[in-house]
Amino acid sequence: MMTFQVSNMSLALPEMFMLAMACIVLMVVAFLGKKGTDLVYRLSQLTLIITAIIIYRSIGEIGGLTFDGTYIKDAFSDVLKLAICLINVVVLLYSTAYLKARNLFKGEYYVLALFSTLGMMVMVSAYHFLTLYLGLELMSLCLYAMVAMHRDSSVATEAAMKYFILGAIASGMLLYGMSIIYGVTGTLSIASVANVIQAGGIDNTVLSFGLVFLIIGIGFKLGAVPFHMWLPDVYHGAPTAVTLFIATAPKIAAFAMAIRLLVDGLADVHQYWQDMLIMLSILSIILGNIIAIAQTNLKRMLAYSTISHVGFILLGILSGSAEGYAGSMFYALTYALMSLGAFGMILLMSRQGFEAENIEDYKGLSERNPWYALMMLILMFSMAGIPPLVGFYAKLAVIKSIVDVDLLSVAIVAVLMSVIGAYYYLRMIKVMYFDQPTQQTDLQSPTEMRVVISANALAVLALGIFPGSLMAICISVFS
């Protein structure tokens, strides 16, 4: 019989606080309307910061299962939820000036951001198929609405429709896979599924059939090839502030979903899902890097870059080793940090009536703003995997993990495509440092945004020089 005790319910204190505050912020929006948007922004930031403090203070405390085994607090969930909250604090800070300049500074953006963050946190701590699905849908429905916020833009509306339809298909695939696995194992609990599979005596053919649908759902949510078709259009069509939100924390939540399903629940059938992930990762790395070369729009280039990075994240998971899982977690966290800086730079360079989303908009940036050209250089070099930046160490960690399990051919493809993929990042550097500027406009962004963007890029450099602390945290989570 399910019992609710205060000691058990306190494990979900961050989610309960986030939900309560999101509802309060929603009421403020409903009663104050546009004139209360500044208050809504401050309340949203306060909510994320206090939630992060609650999570941080609970790190190291005894975790466990609650809500009848549907929710888990462990080191894995603590680290990822803390990262999600801190990243979203920065996302909201970067977004505000952009939204104000385009008449999109509305309370609804912040309400949707909070509820989406709540969905991500539920996904990270989900230990039951239904809890995982509820978290996924809460996150996704908010993202669909955020993409469609710019109602006067036909491009944004089209992107929202594509995202919604393909997201619904992905959710259906995932749900179908879960139902097949439930039919085979007789349980929806991730821990119980693992126990039933370990005990044996089930139909592995039907189980692998259900596994295919799970992988399709995970592939869609991560944006892996061949389930990537929504990603470039959504990144390009959505307002850049929304693209920034989609490109960062939700990728960490999708990584958590993959770990919960494949590692916590289906580790004993690793041989079935490994081959599928090998195909997804290789295709993502090849297609993402090659198509990115042809892009002239920076947001689309970063979208295809994301697809290739997703391929690298999958490499660590498919290795089936604790080192590989830790490498993937390190990659997911550092990719979110790099993506935060890259899209933040687009917001920094934009101004009212001008979207700095084409590569040619950055011509001669080194002459106009040498410091921010340097920050962009650090971010681009890190994404390309050039030492001593954190992107290099992240790629090295996942490639080493697959070499250790004798997947040498996969590692060779990953290394070769990294070299090819460096071209489009280097092209961005060439445009900034060697082309003549076509405009002389000064940056119009707030001081706090400039400071945080600089800190963001320098953190990428610092983590590359001193990756040990973050990597040690990732390793301890899976040890």
pLDDT for 438 beyond 80: no
The pLDDT confidence band at residue 366, using thresholds 50, 70 and 90, is confident
pLDDT for 383 beyond 80: yes
Average pLDDT over residues 220-243: 91
pLDDT value, residue 172: 92
Which residues are paired to 239 by β-bridges?
none
Distance CA 160, CA 114 (A): 19
pLDDT value, residue 441: 67
Q: Which of 48-52, 154-158, 277-281, 322-326 has the lowest mean pLDDT?
A: 154-158
307 and 273 in contact (C-beta within 8 Å)?
Answer: no
Which tens digit of pLDDT belongs to each residue from 387-402? 889 999 999 999 999 9
Average pLDDT over residues 264-274: 88
pLDDT value, residue 55: 94
Average pLDDT over residues 449-469: 92
Which of 35 and 136 is assigned the larger pLDDT?
136
pLDDT for 301 beyond 60: yes
Nearest Cα residue to 190 out of 131, 146, 105: 131
Q: Which residue has the tokens 């389930």?
A: 227
- What b/e readout covers 83-117, taking b as 16+ CB neighbours within 10 angstroms? bbbbbbbbbbbbbbbbbebbebbbbebbbbbbbbb
Cα–Cα–Cα angle for 191, 195, 196, nearest 5°?
120
Query: How does the average pLDDT of the chain come out, rounded?
Result: 90
pLDDT for 120 beyond 60: yes
What share of the chain in percent tops pLDDT 70? 97
pLDDT for 459 beyond 50: yes
pLDDT value, residue 6: 54
The pLDDT confidence band at residue 153, using thresholds 50, 70 and 90, is confident
Distance CA 334, CA 146 (A): 24
The pLDDT confidence band at residue 10, using thresholds 50, 70 and 90, is confident
DSSP label at residue 65: E
Which tens digit of pLDDT belongs to each residue from 347-360? 988 876 677 888 88
pLDDT value, residue 1: 43
φ, ψ for residue 73 (rounded to 5)? -110, 120
DSSP assignment of 345-372, as one string? HHHHH-BTTB---BGGGGTTHHHH-HHH
pLDDT for 200 beyond 90: no
Q: Which two tokens stand for residue 238?
A: 């959505």
**Overall pTM > 0.85:** yes
Which tens digit of pLDDT belongs to each residue from 31-49? 988 888 899 999 999 999 9
